[in-house]
Every structure is written in structure tokens, then in C-alpha cells.
């Protein structure tokens, strides 16, 4: 009986240590986006989303390319083109939301990014 209890405790310890870092990408832009992250390209079509999980702690670069509608020239704003993601905790979640605007002949891809990194940490100051 003791062996079974010990096996269950060990199993819970390993499950509790699982890395739950993830990136969720939502695309509400007019065209497809292509995210290069950790040497893998993820295609997200308009009104689609994708989640990349089991990301080890570390610092990673990402880059984005995108489809430009016919008759438009493309430009990006904010973190849409490229950047760096940091995972320090085993439960860090990062959310990207890509959107686009059209004006005259310019198609602009924008991105907002949010992260749970450091949300639960408190800071103290001495004055």
C-alpha cells in the first residue's frame, strides 16, 4: 500500500512541475500572418488563432511576415514586425492580437501584446 501512495505522490510532483508557458496569437487582421518563433513558422489566417505551449523558460526572438491585400502597400506598427519574449516563470502566458487598418493605399498591420510575467510580484520602495 505504501508503494502505491508513494507512486501517486511522485506522479503529482512531476505533474506539478510541468511547464505551462504559452503564447496565444489571435489574428483579426484582414490577411494572414506568419509568426516565426523558435525556428517554426505558425500561420494564422484572418479570424483565427493559435496557441504555442510547453515553452521552456528563456528569452526568444520572434518575427512576423504578413499578407498584404492587392493594391495596397504594407507597413507595420508596434510589436507587429519582431520582438523578444521572456519566460521566467513556468506559468507565463503571452497574448498577441494582430489587427489591421486600411487608408488610401496603405495597409497597416498592428499588434498588441500582453503578458502575465511579473503580474503577481509586489514591489516595495524605501523613501
**Residue 94: closest CA among 77, 119, 66, 75:** 119
Q: Please tell me the distance from the alpha carbon of residue 32 to that of residue 44, in angstroms, as a whole number.
A: 6
Contact 110, 78 (CB under 8 A): yes
For the question of whether the overall pTM of this predicted structure is more than 0.85, the answer is no
Residue 33 corresponds to which cell in the numbers above? 500572418
Tens-digit pLDDT profile for residues 65-106? 999 999 999 999 877 889 999 998 888 999 999 999 999 999
Residue 61 corresponds to which cell in the numbers above? 526572438
Assign a CATH topology to domain 19-115: Immunoglobulin-like (2.60.40)
Q: Please tell me the distance from the alpha carbon of residue 38 to that of residue 29, in angstroms, as a whole number.
A: 23
Task: Show me where the domains of the chain are located.
Answer: 19-115
Residue 73 corresponds to which cell in the numbers above? 502597400
Residue 32 corresponds to which cell in the numbers above? 494572414
Amino acid at each position: 500500500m505504501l508503494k502505491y501512495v508513494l507512486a501517486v505522490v511522485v506522479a503529482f510532483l512531476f505533474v506539478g512541475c510541468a511547464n505551462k508557458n504559452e503564447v496565444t496569437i489571435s489574428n483579426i487582421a484582414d490577411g494572414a500572418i506568419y509568426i516565426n518563433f523558435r525556428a517554426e513558422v505558425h500561420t494564422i489566417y484572418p479570424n483565427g488563432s493559435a496557441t504555442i505551449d510547453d515553452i521552456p523558460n528563456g528569452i526568444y526572438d520572434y518575427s512576423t511576415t504578413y499578407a498584404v491585400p492587392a493594391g495596397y502597400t504594407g507597413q507595420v506598427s508596434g510589436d507587429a514586425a519582431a520582438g523578444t519574449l521572456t519566460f521566467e516563470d513556468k506559468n507565463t502566458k503571452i497574448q498577441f492580437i494582430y489587427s489591421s487598418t486600411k487608408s488610401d493605399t496603405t495597409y497597416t498591420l498592428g499588434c498588441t501584446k500582453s503578458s502575465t510575467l511579473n503580474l503577481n510580484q509586489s514591489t516595495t520602495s524605501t523613501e
